[in-house]
Amino acid sequence: MTFLPGSPMLLVDERDRQYLFTVPAPEEAAVRVRGEVLPTAALAGQHNGGVLRTELKRRYLVLRPTLEQIIMNMPRQAQVIYPKDIGHMLMWGDVVPGQAAAEVGCGHGALTMSLLRCLGPQGNLVSYDIRSDHLNRTRKNIALYLGPEYLARWSPLNRDITSPAEEEKMEGSESAPPYLRDIVPVQRLFCDIPEPWRLIEAAAVMLEPGGVWVAYIPTALQLMSLVQAMNQARAFSLAEGFETLQRYWHVSPPSLRPRHGMKAHTGFIVTARRRYLAEE
């Protein structure tokens, strides 16, 4: 199958360096890789898994990029969640097709795209973010790398659902605070925000009993604060945190050794389950 204009393409050179871009339309500018101009006609005629030979005698393996390759190579201004962590978040979050899920803090859409693919055509995802530029970039990335049809089951909301200042809360009210009254119930909740313990109240309102909350945080102090907050909240149980380390190996017989570099600490993953409370 050849590549159509607008399709994402990954070129891998002879030193395994990766170049991600979108095949341009014939009337658009050609792609420039390592100072060499690659004509649109030459790119569009390539086959997935084929080899592109350029006028400068360079050779590139041509691939339709995997989601992992997209996440690690797509342009971004915010730090993304690494694929090694996303894989664990999806597994510990027990994400399956058809669920309703929410995320708080979407960044540039690495986790968003992963969730949309796992939730399937019958599932839906709500993304809350206080930055409209992050939501706009995520929307563009979803349409570009997954396809515009995925946008139909994605609901971006530019709002803050973390706990407000103490003086803004409605003390003594039995109903949900005003900022939470229109929250959509979900079975799974994910977040990537600096102070996830401020999400305790919203998470209790949002998550259905038995639901899973998965948080991603970078530092050990945040890990301690979030787990303590979860343990103190009646609505949550089984709070635990962990990190994942990834080390590749260099295999070139007769040599077999671990590579010098590795993806070590990138963040902590914290999970908890929503309890059923008798008064609900």
Contact 104, 193 (CB under 8 A): yes
Of 65, 39, 64, which is closest to residue 53 (Cα–Cα)?
Answer: 39
3-state secondary structure of 158: strand
At residue 75, the pLDDT reads 86
Clarify whether residues 108 and 169 are in a common domain. yes
The domain of 30 spans 8-65
Clarify whether residues 176 and 242 are in a common domain. yes
User: 226 lies in a domain?
Assistant: yes
- Burial, 278: exposed, middle or buried (Cβ in 10 Å; 0-12, 13-18, 19+)? exposed
Of 37, 65, 93, the position where a domain reaches its end is 65
User: 98 lies in a domain?
Assistant: yes
Please spell the DSSP secondary structure of 50-77, one letter per residue. -EEE-TTS-EEEEEPPPHHHHHHHS--S
User: 2 lies in a domain?
Assistant: no
Of 65, 82, 106, the position where a domain reaches its end is 65
pTM of the model: 0.90
Clarify whether residues 225 and 86 are in a common domain. yes
Clarify whether residues 12 and 142 are in a common domain. no
CATH of the domain at 40: 3.10.330.20
Tally of domains within the chain? 2
Task: Say which DSSP state 180 is in.
Answer: G
Residues of the chain with pLDDT under 50: 167-174
What angle is formed at CA 275 by the lines to CA 215 and CA 98, rounded to 5 degrees? 65
Clarify whether residues 58 and 189 are in a common domain. no
Clarify whether residues 239 and 250 are in a common domain. yes
Of 208, 200, 186, 172, which is closest to residue 280 (Cα–Cα)?
Answer: 208
CA separation for the pair 192, 131 (Å, rounded):
13
User: 280 lies in a domain?
Assistant: no
Task: Say which DSSP state 130 is in.
Answer: S
Of 134, 195, 211, which is closest to residue 203 (Cα–Cα)?
Answer: 211
CATH of the domain at 211: 3.40.50.150
Clarify whether residues 132 and 251 are in a common domain. yes
Token representation of residue 218: 């970078």
User: 279 lies in a domain?
Assistant: no
Clarify whether residues 164 and 102 are in a common domain. yes
Clarify whether residues 117 and 192 are in a common domain. yes
Clarify whether residues 183 and 170 are in a common domain. yes
User: 246 lies in a domain?
Assistant: yes
Clarify whether residues 129 and 169 are in a common domain. yes
Token representation of residue 104: 């708080």
List alpha helices for the chain, DSSP H: 40-44, 67-73, 83-92, 110-119, 132-141, 200-206, 220-232
Clarify whether residues 27 and 47 are in a common domain. yes
Of 65, 87, 108, the position where a domain reaches its end is 65
User: 177 lies in a domain?
Assistant: yes
User: 3 lies in a domain?
Assistant: no
At residue 173, the pLDDT reads 44
